[in-house]
Structure 1
């Protein structure tokens, strides 16, 4: 059985290779569908495709933001290289001038001459860049794994809350079933009182009262609504054990509310109406929690 997962979470992974260092952060919030946004360093365009593919393999819903920050601290110093051939040529010219009385050149003066210091073009080393990209991609996977674990922790906290609401709905349906039994008698008594007040001497009054009361009782019968509510309770319990089920649970909440509304509209007694109103309140609370489920 898969773990129930929420849609809010955070994951981070760091890495370093060949003078490069980077950090990857992945975070998510609620969303009807899966939406992945990526921000990465220049020169690593392929990482966006990798990040989205990796997120889609792990997650099914939520707004996911993935950010990669990468830097190479030694780019300004360690990567510099002296062009010995150019330096030797400058020294040759400087020595010739020194023999004629010119001031010998200083080291910093020589290093500042054009062409003596070179900064290698990092993009020229495709193999090294590919290795860095592959290492960052591994950190992407690690950050997304951490994000998924974070969402599962949220799911583990959501589950008992949702189960409690489902239990409360089930208990309310049982109370409503008990109250529904009094509907027919209440309708008959109410209709009898009205007919007696309006036409006490009408011929065949008792038979007419019986037929009309029976028709009203049929219209006010809430057994179908209660049966469907019981079925919805069973479906909700099943879906909790079949994640990712957030979309299905969200749809089921609409069906719960539809039956509760019909129950209230058909109610002919104050106690049954009270149960129906309480039921609607609990269903709404359950719906708010379900919206956090992946």
Structure 2
């Protein structure tokens, strides 16, 4: 199953012939335009910006998006553009008679009302003569195709993100491989250094304690300190997190939330590695790890 990004864009248009008196389909066309944009979000957040002609179809569009998308901030825009075939469309005699009758009735009640102008008659007559189109089915067909295009775009972006994540995983494994042999060396160095300083301090104390007791205490303190700087456990947990992230990326599907949690765990282990560091080389490795983990966090936040 592929990995899907929450970032994507798709658009489409559909034209409908618009009928006029005498079924003259050349009189004009209505064109439905639709576009969908999506960015990352913790949940599925839908926003619709529809023209007045299409507002009634929002529930069907919402149901379509909810059936195809799981996460993301999604904005759907749709509108209707009407293009007339002729600059001036002549109203039919029937429409003109009706407009005249309506005008007479209005002026009988409102004597001061102004008479209809030629422009008013042309505008109202064209609106009366034009067939009212049903945009429901064409709009939904266009929406289904556009959503298919959006999902395909999110899949392409998801494949790119997955490839980048796997590349970062390989770099993190290499850094962990560099850190692993440093751990026992650092522990032994710290034990030897601690014991040497302790012996020097005991020599200055001029035998206030027995040599055996002093050495035992030195070894105990050195061991406790070595345990505090030992990062073997952190490296083991880090390797386990890397394995799980790789498994989720290769499995695909709705992995974004789990990946986000694992990235937080990776960051915690890298931080602990740095705080326990007793050598410059281990500090450098920790910093490089945190840089990679932060890059992964940005990428994972776009995965559905």
Normalised to the residue count of structure 1, the TM-score between the two structures is 0.80
Equivalent position SS for 1:292: coil
What does residue 219 of structure 2 align with?
210
Distance 2:118 2:168 in 1: 79
Q: Quick check: 1:35 aligned with 2:35?
A: no
Q: Quick check: 1:120 aligned with 2:157?
A: no
Is this contact kept in 1: 2:165–2:299, CA < 8 A? yes
Deviation at 1:165, TM superposition (A): 0.4
Is this contact kept in 2: 1:36–1:64, CA < 8 A? yes
- Cα deviation, 1:192-244, whole Å, max 9, x if unaligned, reads 13212322244222222222212222232222211110110011111112322
Runs of 5+ consecutive residues of structure 1 not aligned to the other structure = 91-108
Equivalent position SS for 1:27: strand
Q: CA RMSD in A?
A: 3.1
Distance 2:165 2:90 in 1: 57
- Cα deviation, 1:255-274, whole Å, max 9, x if unaligned, reads 00111111122222332222
What does residue 219 of structure 1 align with?
228
How many residue pairs get aligned? The number is 268
What does residue 197 of structure 2 align with?
194
What does residue 271 of structure 1 align with?
281
Distance 2:177 2:296 in 1: 18
Equivalent position SS for 2:34: strand
Runs of 5+ consecutive residues of structure 2 not aligned to the other structure = 19-29, 102-116
Normalised to the residue count of structure 2, the TM-score between the two structures is 0.78
* Residues 39, 85 of structure 1: alpha-carbon distance in 2 compared, 3 angstrom cutoff: closer
* Residues 83, 13 of structure 1: alpha-carbon distance in 2 compared, 3 angstrom cutoff: same
Q: Quick check: 1:3 aligned with 2:2?
A: yes
Deviation at 1:31, TM superposition (A): 2.0
What does residue 17 of structure 1 align with?
16
Equivalent position SS for 2:128: coil
Distance 1:167 1:61 in 2: 28
* Residues 278, 120 of structure 1: alpha-carbon distance in 2 compared, 3 angstrom cutoff: same
* Residues 52, 77 of structure 1: alpha-carbon distance in 2 compared, 3 angstrom cutoff: farther
What does residue 242 of structure 1 align with?
252
Distance 1:21 1:261 in 2: 57
What does residue 144 of structure 1 align with?
147
Q: Which of 67, 80, 87 matches 1:57?
A: 67
* Residues 111, 192 of structure 1: alpha-carbon distance in 2 compared, 3 angstrom cutoff: closer
Deviation at 1:160, TM superposition (A): 1.6
Equivalent position SS for 1:72: strand
Distance 1:51 1:247 in 2: 26
Deviation at 1:41, TM superposition (A): 1.5
